[in-house]
């Protein structure tokens, strides 16, 4: 824990040139970094202090991130004393899940000073999490609200059909409080948060993202959950633009949630 506090963590990942839909981490380096060619990609990578990368013979890209915080101390959450350390990034998730034909999960994470993490300790943490987890049997209509800063969440394997709607929000705001958007502009119009139907349209692995989002807006959806790692933000944005241009909605009618991968923060 002391080394995590002091040095943070670095992540190693091999990204293919083309999307590998058979892998949960098979997003291409073009989509992962939002670039159109390797020259643009190298310019972006070279601008990140501490990041290392190399091109592999088969055309894949190996990236070792700059050191990033691995744990953080939570003191207060909405006037409730917490005072505990929590994982701030995906140390255990990477150790357990970053595996495919290009990636070895046991080499996916290291300390920020490049020292290896003890495999037995990571396995023991994963075992502890497995033994102490709370598994809930979902029933139709159930709703969960989770503070993602304090607890981890995941899903067990399952068979059969299942549909779960999910959405992510920031801290709750006090009444009449003004927050800042992603570029720092002060905003005070939260009307998009007051849509009558809170059901959110998820943008993960859409066959035709532009058409799917356009159809969703046309069908009445006004909340959308996306992520940089989905690799389709440009296409979903085109679907939104198309709906706005056709007068189906305005931008203020929509509430769009997105997420950055841990290498961005």
Alpha helices in 220-265 (DSSP H): 233-245
Can you tell me the distance from the alpha carbon of 198 to that of 181, in angstroms, rounded to the nearest whole number?
Answer: 21
Quick one: which H or E segment has residue 55? strand 52-55
Q: What pLDDT was estimated at residue 134?
A: 85
What is the pTM (predicted TM-score) of this model? 0.62
Q: Residue 229: how many CB atoms within 10 A of its CB?
A: 18
Nearest to 142 by CA among 163, 169, 168: 163
Nearest to 161 by CA among 133, 136, 140: 140
Query: What average pLDDT score do residues 49-68 get?
Result: 95
pLDDT tens digits, 60-103:
999 999 999 888 887 766 666 666 778 777 888 899 989 999 99
* Three-state DSSP state, 63: strand
DSSP character at residue 22: T
DSSP character at residue 103: -
| Pairing verdict, β 200-202 and 223-225 | parallel
Query: What average pLDDT score do residues 4-18 get?
Result: 93
Q: Does position 217 have pLDDT exceeding 90, yes or no?
A: yes
Range with the poorest average pLDDT among 5-19, 100-114, 250-264: 250-264
Phi then psi for residue 209, to 5 deg, are -55, -45
């Amino acid at each position: 824990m002391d080394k995590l506090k002091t040095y943070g963590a670095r992540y190693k990942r091999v990204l293919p040139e083309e999307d590998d839909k058979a892998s949960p981490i098979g997003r291409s380096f073009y989509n992962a970094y939002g670039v159109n060619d390797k020259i643009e990609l190298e310019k972006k990578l070279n601008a990140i202090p501490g990041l290392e990368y190399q091109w592999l013979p088969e055309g894949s890209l190996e990236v070792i991130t700059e050191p990033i915080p691995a744990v953080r101390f939570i003191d207060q959450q909405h006037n409730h004393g917490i005072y505990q350390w929590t994982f701030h990034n995906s140390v255990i998730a990477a150790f357990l899940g970053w595996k495919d034909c290009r990636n070895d999960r046991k080499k996916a994470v290291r300390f920020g000073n490049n020292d290896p993490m003890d495999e037995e300790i990571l396995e023991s943490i994963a075992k502890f999490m497995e033994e102490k987890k709370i598994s809930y049997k979902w029933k139709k209509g159930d709703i969960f609200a989770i503070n993602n800063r304090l607890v981890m969440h995941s899903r067990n394997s399952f068979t059969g059909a299942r549909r779960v709607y999910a959405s992510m929000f920031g801290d709750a705001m006090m009444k009449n409080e003004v927050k800042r958007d992603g570029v720092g502009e002060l905003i005070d119009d939260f009307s998009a948060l007051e849509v009558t139907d809170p059901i959110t349209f998820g943008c993960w692995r859409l066959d035709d993202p532009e058409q799917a989002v356009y159809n969703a807006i046309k069908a009445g959806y006004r909340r959308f959950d996306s992520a940089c790692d989905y690799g389709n933000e440009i296409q979903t944005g085109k679907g939104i633009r198309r709906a706005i241009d056709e007068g189906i909605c305005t931008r203020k009618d929509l509430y769009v949630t997105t997420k950055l991968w841990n290498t961005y923060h």
